[in-house]
Amino acid sequence: MNTISPRGVYTLLLLPYMAIGFTGTIQANADHDFLRVHPLQVTVFQREDLPTLAHSTTHSREYVNMYTVTGKVHTAAMLGRGLYYFPIYERHLSAQNMPLELKYLSMVESELRTDVVSASGAAGLWQFMPATARNFGLHIESWRDERRDPEAATAAAVMYLKELYAEFGNWELVLGAYNCGSGRMRNAIQRARSTDFALVRKHLPVQTQQYLAKFYAAAYISHHFQDFQITPVVPDALSGGTTRIEVREVSSFQDVSRICRLTIGKIKRLNPQYTQGVWPKGRAGIWMVLPEEPARRYLAHFNRVPQRIDVLPEEAFAKAHSPYLPVTEPYRILNSLLVDLGGGTSSPEQSQGGVRYYSKYFLRGEA
């Protein structure tokens, strides 16, 4: 198995997962004891803030219970949405050489729903406030809100996280700052007179203090949902292969529906950024995500020859849309650790290089 220095750039993301596995057990039901205690491995990493991690882990177990017991149906739906959105996140994170684990932030922020709007006005998968969204190039207009666009919003979120890391240089501080804002994080650091999150934590809003625990829990259940008898339910509108085309010749979902012979509901689910279902006709840069065959119908209708249509074969959907995607270094280390932490083993057919694979575990539904 690959190794990583305790002081490596990903340490602060990895150790909380380890703490979850090392500090106790969780009861998913009366007979199910899942998280294992591995006290010997704790000594491998010398961390002055382990008591804080243990405290966070206590709350993480509460959130794991929420995901796997009281909110089991909602979790299945959320994980199903993740099968569609996570590959998008991973592509943008990889392009910027950012940790793939940051994709779990969106689970905490929005439960992977594009339609979520907070009381303060944050919207979309990554819950951008309007001012922050515009700072990172997202358009918010009467007919379009790119905070709801999975591609555009993810690109902006990755750049925002990269900017936060350039300032704070510590992933725990970055995660906290994403939640409460960089200004509040700077003030908390000043009051704590330290950049040690264990000391900074008490100067942050209560919601932010709990934020990391939620993040750890979301990451944990993403890798161990099967052990809690949870099966991700993929929404019909998000299943199968899709492609992205420019639709400058039309101006509404209704036009696209008629030409492509596709329901408006599915078009809207794949393109939530067009909040009114209309846009300026003839304007360049109006892109739409559509299933392969409807996309071909659209292009044929206007005698346009596609330069390239990237399609995901149906039989490859489960593997390619899986949290267990094989990834390049340095990310492979996390998957290896998570396999070990769960106390379970994978058969040779399920594992390559310490990375677990599942290709037949999902269902389709109306989540």
Contacts of 330 (CB under 8 A, 6+ apart): 2, 4, 8, 10
Give the number of C-alpha atoms closer than 13 A to the C-alpha of residue 182, restricted to the C-beta side. Answer: 14
What's the domain range around 279? 242-311
Who wins on pLDDT, 183 or 350?
A: 183
Contact 274, 251 (CB under 8 A): no
Q: Looking at the structure, do residues 111 and 170 belong to the same domain, yes or no? A: yes
Q: Looking at the structure, do residues 227 and 93 belong to the same domain, yes or no? A: yes
Q: Is the model's pLDDT at 81 over the cut of 50?
A: yes
Q: Looking at the structure, do residues 116 and 201 belong to the same domain, yes or no? A: yes
CA gap 353, 29 in Å, rounded: 32
For residue 4, tell me if it sits in a domain: no
89-102 average pLDDT score:
93
Of the listed ranges 17-26, 161-170, 189-198, the one predicted with least confidence: 17-26
Q: Looking at the structure, do residues 203 and 331 belong to the same domain, yes or no? A: yes
Q: Looking at the structure, do residues 215 and 289 belong to the same domain, yes or no? A: no
Report the relative pairing of strands 32-33 and 233-235 from DSSP bridges: unpaired
6-31 average pLDDT score:
31
For residue 346, tell me if it sits in a domain: yes
Buried b (16+ CB within 10 A) or exposed e, 290-307: bbbebbbbbbeeeeeeee
Q: Looking at the structure, do residues 175 and 252 belong to the same domain, yes or no? A: no
Last-in-domain residue among 265, 290, 311: 311
Please give the pLDDT value at position 76: 97
Outline where the chain has alpha helix (H): 11-22, 39-42, 50-65, 72-95, 105-110, 130-135, 150-168, 171-180, 182-192, 197-200, 206-224, 253-260, 264-270, 292-301, 317-320, 332-341
Q: Looking at the structure, do residues 82 and 217 belong to the same domain, yes or no? A: yes
For residue 258, tell me if it sits in a domain: yes
For residue 1, tell me if it sits in a domain: no
For residue 132, tell me if it sits in a domain: yes
Please give the pLDDT value at position 304: 80
Which CATH number belongs to the domain containing residue 98 in this structure?
1.10.530.10
Indicate the number of domains in the chain.
2
Q: Is the model's pLDDT at 334 over the cut of 60?
A: no
316-328 pLDDT, tens per residue?
334 444 443 333 3
Who wins on pLDDT, 9 or 208?
A: 208
Please give the pLDDT value at position 305: 64
For residue 169, tell me if it sits in a domain: yes
Q: Is the model's pLDDT at 267 over the cut of 60?
A: yes
Q: Looking at the structure, do residues 128 and 96 belong to the same domain, yes or no? A: yes
Among the listed residues 240, 243, 288, 299, the one whose alpha carbon sits nearest the alpha carbon of residue 264: 288
DSSP 194: S
Q: Is the model's pLDDT at 356 over the cut of 50?
A: no
150-182 pLDDT, tens per residue?
999 999 999 999 999 999 998 899 999 999 999
For residue 93, tell me if it sits in a domain: yes
CA gap 184, 188 in Å, rounded: 6
For residue 231, tell me if it sits in a domain: yes
Q: Looking at the structure, do residues 17 and 131 belong to the same domain, yes or no? A: yes
Please give the pLDDT value at position 208: 93
Last-in-domain residue among 268, 283, 311: 311
235-263 pLDDT, tens per residue?
988 988 899 999 999 999 999 999 999 99
205-229 average pLDDT score:
90
On the question of a cis peptide bond just before residue 99, with omega within 30 degrees of 0, the verdict is no
Q: Looking at the structure, do residues 65 and 191 belong to the same domain, yes or no? A: yes
Q: Is 140 helix (H, G, I), strand (E, B) or coil?
A: strand
Report residue 306's pLDDT band, with 50, 70 and 90 as the boundaries: low
Report residue 62's pLDDT band, with 50, 70 and 90 as the boundaries: confident
Q: Looking at the structure, do residues 268 and 228 belong to the same domain, yes or no? A: no
Which span out of 142-146, 301-305, 363-367 was modeled with the highest average pLDDT?
142-146
Please give the pLDDT value at position 319: 44
Q: What is the mean pLDDT of the chain?
A: 74
Who wins on pLDDT, 204 or 58?
A: 204
Last-in-domain residue among 274, 294, 311: 311
Q: Looking at the structure, do residues 161 and 192 belong to the same domain, yes or no? A: yes
**Cβ count near 207 (within 10 Å):** 10
